[in-house]
Amino acid sequence: MTLRNLISPEQRRPRLRELLTRKNFVRIIEAHNGISGLIGNNAFLEELDDNGQAVRVEFDGLWESSLTDSASKGYPDAEIIGVESRLHNISQILDVTNKPMIVDGDTGGEASHFEYTVKRLEALGVSAVIIEDKVFPKRNSLSEDANQVLEDPQVFATKIKRAGEVRIKDDFMIIARLESLIAGFGLEDALQRARQYLKAGVDGIMIHSKKNDPAEIFAFAEAYERLSDELGYRRPLVCVPTAYNQVTEAELKALNFNVVIYANHLMRASVRAMDNVVKSILLNKRSLEVDPLCVPVKEIFNLVGFTDVKEKDAQFARDQGVAAFIPAAGKSRRFEQPKALLKINGQSLLENQVEALTRCGIRRINVIRGFKKTDFPPVKVNYFDNDEYEDTFSIYSLFQAQEAINGKFLFINSDILFSDFVIKNLIDTNLDIVVAVDGSYKHHKHMQDKALDLVISKTAVNADQRRLVNPFNQKIVRIGKQLDIPQAVGEYIGITYFSEQGAEDLKTVYNDCLGRTGNFHEADSLRRASLTDLLQEMIDRGYPVHFLEFERGWIEIHNPQDQSAAETMLSGGEGQ
């Protein structure tokens, strides 16, 4: 349900009378469920008026039709669908719309029943009910051969009068529908009944016809003016030009009609559309051909408010503080299982990471799995899948979780263990993008047997000297594996922090690069790129990417020796 069309019953109910007073002519469209209500309620177009001014053209309200309410449930229109079911449907349509509603009340049933219906419709915020002067249970009026039995006009007039007395405010309108022309009793009978019902206090008259020729409707409209003169007052006149649909609104206005109801068109249109779709699928044995006949799912999302739900989820996530993303989809040459699942002192690397992040107050942890994804433990993380892990790399993995990238986050390689202070210090910088760098890398011989991710800074730094560091000045100019070790300020640890802005910038740049072919920095394609490649792209585009140095507090599990080194460190408490 969309929350965009907010209105209270008290605000909505008087709107029909207000519109009638202001415009003298209102246009009403049928609705039979929430989505047709939304479409009718929200539809508009802009036209130029006679003075060349843009004007908005839309429907003024909704018709909750007995024909289409019944049809939407697969039932005939013969007062088989009970009042409770009708009220349920009416309130669903009201829930998602904000325009006045006229309810088709069929015959209204017996007078006591109708009193209760009026009370409930009024409470829901419905603006008007129209009841027809036939005997319960009626048959639909458009049928060519159904038996149409008219109600005794006195009985009907009493029903109207009693209903008028139970309504709380007269902004709720009770309208009498004349079925004399439908039942073949002619103009005089219709006029007689109109006079009687108007004297009983009805708020409007609807005249109905099933003929394609509008002559009898036009004749009634002219006679109605004379009747109004005779009575000394005039109540709004309603028509439903389904059969005589060649008649234009301008003609109806000229005849002093006040309400035109397009009574069943959304239902009829949807049946035609659905019919075409099912036939095409049966014919083609697939659904590709029906795409032009269907709106994209996204349009449904927008229409029913799912897009709004997602936006609020994203806002909630942003308000939740820092998130973590751990791409753990890849396969390692040295291990039989994903590195995230390597055991360090009895629990997986991932569980160690989750523990450390939880200690740092990070609760939104997102892990992207691929290789042996079903082996991942049921820990408190959101899992996303990169099923193309054989052919892709960490950036592709990260963006499999794009919907969760809202606000501040840490990107953490799945094969590292880190101390809490590394995380906290990175977040504390409050910079848009900060890369954690180890300046002591040159001394760690065992780590140099793999291509290191190195960082070259804007200002040369001598990693061997003591110095004060101010991360605000520490900007990276180059990051990647193909850099010259002596020139580098340090090794990228595999943890990067993004502020809310940094996260947005990362998404913008990534999405902008999608579709780019050929090498992507050090990778042979964007699909096979690492975060360092995307960071280099950002640096080249002028986004500041900072680094923060650490001399300790992390270890990468690159080979089995690292695994046992980590076990020793953790059991000895080293590095915490």
| Residue of the chain from 5, 140, 209, 532 that contacts ligand SPV (CB under 6 A) | 140
Contact between residue 330 and residue 369 where contact means Cβ atoms under 8 Å apart: no
Is residue 209 involved in binding ligand SPV (CB under 6 A)?
no
Number of amino acids touching ligand SPV (CB under 6 A): 12
Is residue 419 involved in binding Mg ion (CB under 5 A)?
no
| Smallest separation, CB 65 to Mg ion (Å) | 6
Q: Which is nearer to ligand SPV, 65 or 366 (CB)?
A: 65
Is residue 66 involved in binding Mg ion (CB under 5 A)?
yes
Q: Interface with Mg ion by CB under 5 A: which range of 30-38, 99-107, 162-170, 206-214?
A: 99-107
| From ligand SPV, Mg ion, none, interface partner of 142 (C-beta below 5 to 8 A by class) | ligand SPV
Q: Interface with ligand SPV by CB under 6 A: which range of 139-147, 274-282, 329-337, 380-388?
A: 139-147
Contact between residue 214 and residue 231 where contact means Cβ atoms under 8 Å apart: no
| Smallest separation, CB 86 to Mg ion (Å) | 11
Is residue 181 involved in binding ligand SPV (CB under 6 A)?
no
Contact between residue 487 and residue 456 where contact means Cβ atoms under 8 Å apart: yes
Is residue 28 involved in binding ligand SPV (CB under 6 A)?
no
| Residue of the chain from 33, 89, 107, 264 that contacts ligand SPV (CB under 6 A) | 264
Q: Which of residues 330-389 bind Mg ion (CB under 5 A)?
A: none
Q: Which is nearer to ligand SPV, 67 or 381 (CB)?
A: 67
| Smallest separation, CB 200 to ligand SPV (Å) | 21
182 φ/ψ angles, rounded to the nearest 5 degrees: -65, -40
Taking the C-alpha atoms of residue 572 and residue 282, their distance in angstroms, rounded to an integer, is: 68
Q: Which is nearer to ligand SPV, 81 or 200 (CB)?
A: 81
Is residue 263 involved in binding ligand SPV (CB under 6 A)?
yes
Beta bridge partners of 324: 365, 410
| Residue of the chain from 104, 115, 151, 203 that contacts Mg ion (CB under 5 A) | 104
Written as one string, the DSSP assignment of 61-120 is: EEEE-HHHHHHHTT--SSS-S-HHHHHHHHHHHHHH--S-EEEE-TT--SHHHHHHHHHH
Picking from 245, 290, 255, 27, the residue whose alpha carbon sits closest to that of residue 142 is 245
Place of tokens 């109910």: 13
Q: Which is nearer to ligand SPV, 181 or 452 (CB)?
A: 181
Place of tokens 């990276």: 476
| Residue of the chain from 19, 31, 62, 67 that contacts ligand SPV (CB under 6 A) | 67
Question: Is 77 an annotated catalytic residue?
Answer: yes
Picking from 245, 225, 205, 10, the residue whose alpha carbon sits closest to that of residue 126 is 10
Q: Interface with ligand SPV by CB under 6 A: which range of 134-142, 149-157, 192-200, 456-464?
A: 134-142
Eight-class DSSP state of 463 = T
Is residue 115 involved in binding Mg ion (CB under 5 A)?
no
| Smallest separation, CB 77 to Mg ion (Å) | 6
| Smallest separation, CB 65 to ligand SPV (Å) | 3
Can you tell me whether residue 359 is helix, strand or coil?
helix
Eight-class DSSP state of 551 = S
Q: Which is nearer to ligand SPV, 140 or 400 (CB)?
A: 140
| Smallest separation, CB 67 to Mg ion (Å) | 5
Q: Interface with ligand SPV by CB under 6 A: which range of 65-73, 150-158, 348-356, 497-505?
A: 65-73
Picking from 471, 488, 405, the residue whose alpha carbon sits closest to that of residue 436 is 471
Picking from 452, 449, 454, 438, the residue whose alpha carbon sits closest to that of residue 559 is 449
Is residue 264 involved in binding Mg ion (CB under 5 A)?
no
Taking the C-alpha atoms of residue 491 and residue 475, their distance in angstroms, rounded to an integer, is: 14
Q: Interface with ligand SPV by CB under 6 A: which range of 137-145, 434-442, 521-529, 566-574?
A: 137-145
Taking the C-alpha atoms of residue 52 and residue 61, their distance in angstroms, rounded to an integer, is: 26
Is residue 128 involved in binding ligand SPV (CB under 6 A)?
no
Q: Looking at 330-430, which runs of residues are DSSP E strands?
A: 343-344, 347-348, 364-369, 382-385, 409-412, 416-418
Taking the C-alpha atoms of residue 529 and residue 517, their distance in angstroms, rounded to an integer, is: 12
Taking the C-alpha atoms of residue 355 and residue 360, their distance in angstroms, rounded to an integer, is: 9
Provide the token pair at 83. 């009042």
Contact between residue 401 and residue 328 where contact means Cβ atoms under 8 Å apart: no
Q: Which is nearer to Mg ion, 67 or 323 (CB)?
A: 67
**Hey, what's the torsion of the CAs at 369, 371, 373, 379, to 10 degrees?**
-50
| From ligand SPV, Mg ion, none, interface partner of 242 (C-beta below 5 to 8 A by class) | ligand SPV
Taking the C-alpha atoms of residue 516 and residue 137, their distance in angstroms, rounded to an integer, is: 67
Q: Is the peptide bond before 296 cis (omega within 30 degrees of 0)?
A: no
Provide the token pair at 47. 């036209």
| From Mg ion, ligand SPV, none, interface partner of 247 (C-beta below 5 to 8 A by class) | none
| Residue of the chain from 33, 89, 242, 419 that contacts ligand SPV (CB under 6 A) | 242
55 φ/ψ angles, rounded to the nearest 5 degrees: -125, 150
Beta bridge partners of 343: 348
| Smallest separation, CB 142 to ligand SPV (Å) | 5
Is residue 414 involved in binding ligand SPV (CB under 6 A)?
no
Query: Which residue of the set 77, 133, 453, 562 is catalytic?
Result: 77
Is residue 64 involved in binding Mg ion (CB under 5 A)?
no
Beta bridge partners of 128: 102, 173
Contact between residue 395 and residue 533 where contact means Cβ atoms under 8 Å apart: yes
CB-based closest residue to Mg ion:
66
Q: Which is nearer to Mg ion, 104 or 537 (CB)?
A: 104
Is residue 240 involved in binding ligand SPV (CB under 6 A)?
yes
Is residue 304 involved in binding ligand SPV (CB under 6 A)?
no
CB atoms within 10 A of CB 211: 12
Q: Which is nearer to ligand SPV, 99 or 373 (CB)?
A: 99
| Smallest separation, CB 499 to Mg ion (Å) | 59
- Residues at the interface with ligand SPV (CB under 6 A): 65-67, 77, 104, 140-142, 240, 242, 263-264
- Residues at the interface with Mg ion (CB under 5 A): 66-67, 104
Residues belonging to the active site: 77
